[in-house]
Structure 1
Amino acid sequence: MAEAPVPLARTALLICDLQNDFIHPQGAYGRAGQTAPEIAAVPGRVKPLADLMRREGGWIVQTQFTLVPAKGGEPMISPHLRELRPFLRKGDFEPGAWGHALVDDLAPADLSVEKIAYSAFYMTRLEWVLRKAGIEKLYVCGIVTNGGVASTVRDAHVRDFSTVVLSDGCAAFSQAVHDTAIEALRPVCRVATIAEVIAEMEGA
């Protein structure tokens, strides 16, 4: 028996980590030259779906990768991340700062959740706010496909959210890595393009 469709009022576009510090040329990653054209293009590709979701009563939910400030404002950085990204410094991904915010193309979000690891569900209030808002279905987009997106999608799956990953609404630092990550997600969620989802919503 096919599952009943989930109304848009109980559906969210879950935007993973599309923040100024990741995307903008003046953000933390841009300053360090840690960018990729595939990643920079994601907000513009997602925007038509975000606009449609807003018009039709859906939710926009963003996750914000966060470096929690400690004494003196120095960020708490996991050892593996410090090794991978030695350029991170005081003020990067700091709560309330410009770099921490959702990029302008997709702002504002209805709900925002800070995260400190790959999965947006790990030690956060994400599941709590989604349940309180009555959200049952997630269209997931953002960066990076093999990191925050994949981890969040898998955790949404085990929590019984109806989950769709947007194959062209995500990106990694290489197309090959992105493609491999998308294929690996097919057993746990539906994979669709932004155009396919828009067509379905407009035809509903």
Structure 2
Amino acid sequence: MISGLIAFTEFGLLALLAALAGRVVRLYREEPFMVAGALAASASPSPTASRTRPHSRAGEPGGPGTADRTELFTQLHILIGLQERDCRVQGLLLCESPMAVRLYAAAWLYGAACALSLKSNRHSRALAAMVAGIISRKTGIRQTEAQEALGGLTHSAVLLACYRAGLESAEFWQRHQFVPRESSLYEAITSNAFI
């Protein structure tokens, strides 16, 4: 009886091992770029590895890939969370600020998003929509208002300056894991606008 149970268990484990091997082979054939990207990422854990990794799927035409989108979404939430906290410590509450200040924050985050995303995905509608969604949750601004402001960045010197500060701060943050004071969201808002 016990030897039969042991033989049955061994057979079950072999069947599971064969199923796992088949699944790995099938995934490798379907997603060769993702496997290569994962191997490259594990071989070199630099912060810029995620930007140069090839991806096989795109969420939208011209939009960030599925893996890129999730990673970028996470990075932007971390970055805006840190900047929101810095603003709060210095006495600037973004959710209670005037609409213009909230739009400056949207421009700053859009600059950061452009710096963190792949070059082919910068200035796309999908990226602007992602930024508008994040900034809407953080500041209470409507997504449509944020997208309109992002579409007209070049019409306002202050929005453009905030965009550039976000671009610089995200590039620096990606290499050094902190945002320098001169390109932080608080500095971008207070040095370019009268609050």
Structures share fold, TM-score greater than 0.5: no
The structure with higher relative contact order (CA 8 Å, sep 6+) is 1
Structure of greater Rg: 2
Which structure: greater strand fraction? Answer: 1
> TM-score, length-normalised on structure 1?
0.31
> TM-score, length-normalised on structure 2?
0.31
